[in-house]
């Protein structure tokens, strides 16, 4: 058994639509250690969600896996039988909670009946008998409890629950089979600050109790990533701009894009108003149908050089291979 | 940043007194929901006041009452010491303009931006010829940080969210309004362009003496942009004061709880209560 729960090698995923090919994820390589939480940060249009959809094993229509390997717990998910992927990998080894997943609850069913449906589908056996029902409910209630939900929620309809509760119900359902890896896409973006905190706490709790082992957490909100994650990837234009430990990326970013991203955020500080002026990043994200040549960030980069416009920078990792960035500034510094 | 000293001008632009809005529901209108309860505050000239709170706390209700989109159940609002109901609606909107959450629905998608901008000339009293109009447009575009040649010939869907919000703010400059109601203006645009809109508000406050009611649930933004803050909970303003007083030494238990839940970029939560 390797030490990595997830290994992604040179992953490419393109959207093939009527208006051309969108290079949404273009050569992404990283690995996630067991027991770690990795965050994926970046602007909209950076390829965060596409990456998550590719790792989930079932990309939506128009998104195609174009190359590269994804190993989830040692299983190459694009190289196995789809049925095996469904029964062996999904939910058991990896669970994916997409963006706006709270809308996926069935509005005419109580949560408990919805859970019976899901369990029935997964196990190819409908939940009929009283004993089986109780067994399933007990399991569900246990998961709900770790997420801070009461047992009574099971008897409610989705419209009776608040957004944060629905979100947590969905997470509870997707972790019913104790997946080793949970991929979760923007769970807090539709929530209030107080429910956001509750959500982050619930996710950490899931990991501490051992229901899940590792997590891939996608968010554009660096402040909540900071509270939760051990490691972080900053994506820009379908590529990894910087990868490394969370604290390092925030406190001492290497890539110009991560530097700009952290300085653009108005963060609350209990010590007083921040004294520096926030800077927004000029320009807008690139059109990935025709990505810019060379470094994809060069049209917006404040420290652009001639080489950036023509040649693509390679990912340069530091000594212990944990921290890296793809920027020509690094090569020119080290010679 | 000693903003307290900068606002020497203490002229009150807008003041709200005991503002209450009740919604009735139920079979014979027996159920009463109080969306706003006795809200009392004022906004001075050249001041940015933030209204912060969770969703459902009544922030937008207050904005809509100030904008005369809904009528308050009781209480009164005065603009420049005159009750807002005594203004003709047209005169009122000359002075009070708004920027809402969703920039994409604020523009008519069938028209190009120059048409949309030209519709606003009707609210100005001066009759300018084309040359003068061009000059005004250019000066406004430079203050909102957009290039008129890039933006004017385009349709709204070709612009980014940040550009559209800037245009909306620019439109209120064109009319020459004194008060801008900004209802979550940054929540739908990307984090990287948010700072631009916030900085624009700060510049306009300094240079044009614009007063802003900045409604947000993002405490970080409220802290960055405002001079004073109002914290709302369930329709009531539970705490108000100078930004550093409220955010650094909150007094009301709810403010403390709210601030405790805000994730900060620079420090990690040690424990989760």
Q: What is the pLDDT of residues B236-261, one digit of tens each?
A: 999 999 998 999 899 999 999 888 88
Confidence of residue A334 (pLDDT cuts 50, 70, 90): low
Is there a domain that residue A249 lies in? no
Whether residues A199 and A270 share a domain: the answer is no
Is there a domain that residue A16 lies in? yes
Q: CA B160, CA B104: separation in Å to the nearest integer?
A: 9
Residue with tokens 């996630």: A32
Residues B167-223 have pLDDT tens digits of 888 888 888 889 999 998 888 777 778 888 899 999 999 988 899 999 998 888 899
Neighboring chain B residues of A270 at a CB cutoff of 8 Å: 247-248, 259, 264
pLDDT score at B272: 54
pLDDT score at B6: 46
Whether residues A48 and A188 share a domain: the answer is yes
Confidence of residue B137 (pLDDT cuts 50, 70, 90): confident
pLDDT score at B8: 53
**Closest alpha carbon within chain A to B3:** A273
pLDDT score at A318: 80
Whether residues A77 and A39 share a domain: the answer is yes
Prediction ipTM score: 0.79
CB A56 within 8 A of CB A25: no
Work out the minimum CA distance from A189 to partner chain B, whole angstroms: 10
Residues A188-247 have pLDDT tens digits of 887 888 888 888 988 998 999 889 999 999 998 888 898 899 999 999 999 999 999 998
Neighboring chain A residues of B261 at a CB cutoff of 8 Å: 193-194, 196-197
Taking the Cβ of residue B262 and every Cβ of chain A, the question of whether any pair is shorter than 8 Å is answered with yes
pLDDT score at B213: 94
3-state secondary structure of B32: strand
Neighboring chain B residues of A280 at a CB cutoff of 8 Å: 162, 192-196, 199
Residues B38-72 have pLDDT tens digits of 999 999 999 999 999 888 888 889 999 999 999 99
Asked whether the beta carbons of residue B263 and residue A200 sit closer than 8 angstroms, the reply is: yes
**Closest alpha carbon within chain A to B245:** A272
pLDDT score at A99: 86
Last residue of a domain, one of A220, A236, A252: A236
Asked whether the beta carbons of residue A266 and residue B264 sit closer than 8 angstroms, the reply is: no
Q: Which fold has domain B3-247?
A: Rossmann fold (3.40.50)
Taking alpha carbons only, the member of A274, A229, A221, A245 closest to residue A44 is A221
Whether residues A12 and A86 share a domain: the answer is yes
| Cβ-based contacts under 8 A for chains A and B | 122
Q: CA A164, CA A174: separation in Å to the nearest integer?
A: 15
Mean pLDDT of A176-182: 92
When comparing pLDDT for B227 and B7, which is higher? B227
Asked whether the beta carbons of residue A201 and residue B264 sit closer than 8 angstroms, the reply is: no
Confidence of residue B273 (pLDDT cuts 50, 70, 90): very low
- Domain segments of chain B: what residues? 3-247
Whether residues A19 and A62 share a domain: the answer is yes
pLDDT > 90 fraction of chain A, expressed in percent and rounded: 40
Taking alpha carbons only, the member of A111, A168, A104, A165 closest to residue A136 is A111
E strand spans, chain A: 4-17, 20-33, 37-41, 63-72, 75-76, 94-97, 181-185, 214-218, 231-236, 239-245, 316-317, 324-325
Whether residues A282 and A221 share a domain: the answer is no
pLDDT score at B3: 45
Work out the minimum CA distance from A32 to partner chain B, whole angstroms: 22
Q: In terms of residue numbers, what domain contains A119? A: 4-236
Phi, psi angle pair for B149, to nearest 5°: -65, -30
Confidence of residue B138 (pLDDT cuts 50, 70, 90): confident
Is there a domain that residue A204 lies in? yes
**Closest alpha carbon within chain A to B244:** A272
pLDDT score at A17: 86
For residue A268, give the nearest of B192, B196, B264 by CB distance: B264
Whether residues A195 and A287 share a domain: the answer is no
pLDDT score at A1: 60
Please tell me the total number of residues recorded for chain B in this structure.
273
Is there a domain that residue A253 lies in? no
Q: Is the pLDDT of residue B7 over 70?
A: no
Asked whether the beta carbons of residue B263 and residue A226 sit closer than 8 angstroms, the reply is: yes
3-state secondary structure of A1: coil
3-state secondary structure of A164: helix
Whether residues A142 and A12 share a domain: the answer is yes
Residues A273-298 have pLDDT tens digits of 777 788 888 877 888 888 889 899 99
> Domain total for chain A?
2
Is there a domain that residue A305 lies in? yes
Work out the minimum CA distance from A201 to partner chain B, whole angstroms: 7
Whether residues A183 and A301 share a domain: the answer is no
Q: CA separation (Å) from A62 to A54, A183, A235, A236?
A: 12, 21, 21, 21
Asked whether the beta carbons of residue A266 and residue B263 sit closer than 8 angstroms, the reply is: no
Is there a domain that residue A247 lies in? no
CB B68 within 8 A of CB B84: yes
Mean pLDDT of A144-150: 89
pLDDT score at B141: 86
User: In this structure, what CATH number is given to the domain that contains residue A74?
Assistant: 3.40.50.300
Residues A69-96 have pLDDT tens digits of 999 988 899 989 988 888 888 888 999 9
CB A77 within 8 A of CB A89: yes
Work out the minimum CA distance from A139 to partner chain B, whole angstroms: 25
Q: Is the pLDDT of residue B91 over 60?
A: yes
Whether residues A268 and A141 share a domain: the answer is no
pLDDT score at B270: 67
pLDDT score at B73: 92
Asked whether the beta carbons of residue A264 and residue B263 sit closer than 8 angstroms, the reply is: no
Whether residues A186 and A134 share a domain: the answer is yes
pLDDT score at A127: 84
Asked whether the beta carbons of residue B247 and residue A274 sit closer than 8 angstroms, the reply is: no
Is there a domain that residue A251 lies in? no
Is there a domain that residue A65 lies in? yes
Whether residues A202 and A68 share a domain: the answer is yes
Q: Which two tokens stand for residue B169?
A: 């703010």
pLDDT score at B4: 43
Residues A21-58 have pLDDT tens digits of 999 999 999 999 999 999 999 888 888 899 999 999 88
Q: Which two tokens stand for residue A237?
A: 């234009």
Q: CA A11, CA B125: separation in Å to the nearest integer?
A: 60
When comparing pLDDT for A204 and A319, which is higher? A204
């Amino acid at each position: 058994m390797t030490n990595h729960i997830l290994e992604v090698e040179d992953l490419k995923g393109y959207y093939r639509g009527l208006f051309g090919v969108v290079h949404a994820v273009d050569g992404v390589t990283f690995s996630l250690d067991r027991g770690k939480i990795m965050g994926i940060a970046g602007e909209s249009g950076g390829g965060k969600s596409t990456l998550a959809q590719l790792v989930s094993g079932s990309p939506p229509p128009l998104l195609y896996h174009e190359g590269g390997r994804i190993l989830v717990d040692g299983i190459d998910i694009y190289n196995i039988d789809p049925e095996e992927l469904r029964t062996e990998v999904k939910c058991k080894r990896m669970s994916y909670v997409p963006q706006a997943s709270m809308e996926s609850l069935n509005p005419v069913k109580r949560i408990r009946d919805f859970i019976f449906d899901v369990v029935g589908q997964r196990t190819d056996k409908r939940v009929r008998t009283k004993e089986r029902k109780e067994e399933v409910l007990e399991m569900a209630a246990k998961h709900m409890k770790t997420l801070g939900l009461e047992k009574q929620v099971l008897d409610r309809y989705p419209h009776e629950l608040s957004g944060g509760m629905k979100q947590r119900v969905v997470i509870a359902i997707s972790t019913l089979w104790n997946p080793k890896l949970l991929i979760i896409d923007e769970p807090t973006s539709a929530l209030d600050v107080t429910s956001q905190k509750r959500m982050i706490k619930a996710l950490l709790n899931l990991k501490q109790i051992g229901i899940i082992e590792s997590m891939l957490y996608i968010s554009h909100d660096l402040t909540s990533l900071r509270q939760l994650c051990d490691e972080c990837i900053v994506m820009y234009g379908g590529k990894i701009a910087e990868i490394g430990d969370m604290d390092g990326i925030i406190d001492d970013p290497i890539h110009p894009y991560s530097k700009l991203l952290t300085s653009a955020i108005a963060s609350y500080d209990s010590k007083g108003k921040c004294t520096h002026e926030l800077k927004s990043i000029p320009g807008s994200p690139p059109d990935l149908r025709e990505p810019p040549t060379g470094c994809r960030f060069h049209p917006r980069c404040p420290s652009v050089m001639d080489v950036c416009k023509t040649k693509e920078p390679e990912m340069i990792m530091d000594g212990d291979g944990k921290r890296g960035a793809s920027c020509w500034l690094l090569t020119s510094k080290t010679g | 940043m000693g903003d307290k000293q900068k606002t020497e001008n203490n002229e009150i632009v807008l003041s709200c007194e005991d503002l209450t809005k009740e919604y009735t529901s139920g079979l014979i209108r027996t159920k009463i929901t109080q969306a706003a309860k006795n809200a009392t505050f004022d906004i001075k000239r050249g001041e940015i006041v933030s209204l912060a709170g969770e969703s459902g706390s009544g922030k937008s209700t207050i904005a809509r009452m100030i904008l005369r989109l809904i009528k308050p159940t009781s209480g009164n609002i005065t603009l420049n010491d005159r009750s807002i109901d005594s203004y003709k609606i047209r005169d009122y909107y000359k002075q009070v303009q708004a920027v809402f959450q969703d920039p994409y629905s604020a523009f008519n998608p069938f028209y190009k931006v120059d048409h949309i901008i030209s519709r606003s000339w009707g609210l100005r009293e001066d009759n300018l010829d084309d040359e003068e109009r061009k000059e005004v447009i250019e000066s406004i575009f430079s203050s909102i940080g957009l290039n008129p040649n890039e933006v004017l010939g385009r349709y709204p869907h070709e612009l980014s969210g940040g550009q559209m919000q800037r245009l909306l703010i620019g439109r209120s400059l064109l009319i020459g309004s004194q008060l801008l109601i900004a209802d979550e203006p940054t929540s739908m645009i990307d984090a990287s362009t948010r700072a631009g809109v916030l900085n624009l508000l700060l510049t306009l406050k300094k240079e044009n003496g614009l007063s802003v009611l900045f409604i947000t649930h993002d405490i970080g933004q409220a802290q960055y942009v405002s001079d004073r803050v109002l914290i709302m909970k369930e329709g009531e303003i539970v705490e108000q004061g100078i930004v550093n007083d409220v955010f650094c030494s909150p007094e009301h238990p709810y403010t403390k709880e709210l601030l405790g839940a805000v994730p900060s970029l620079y420090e990690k939560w040690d424990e989760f209560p």
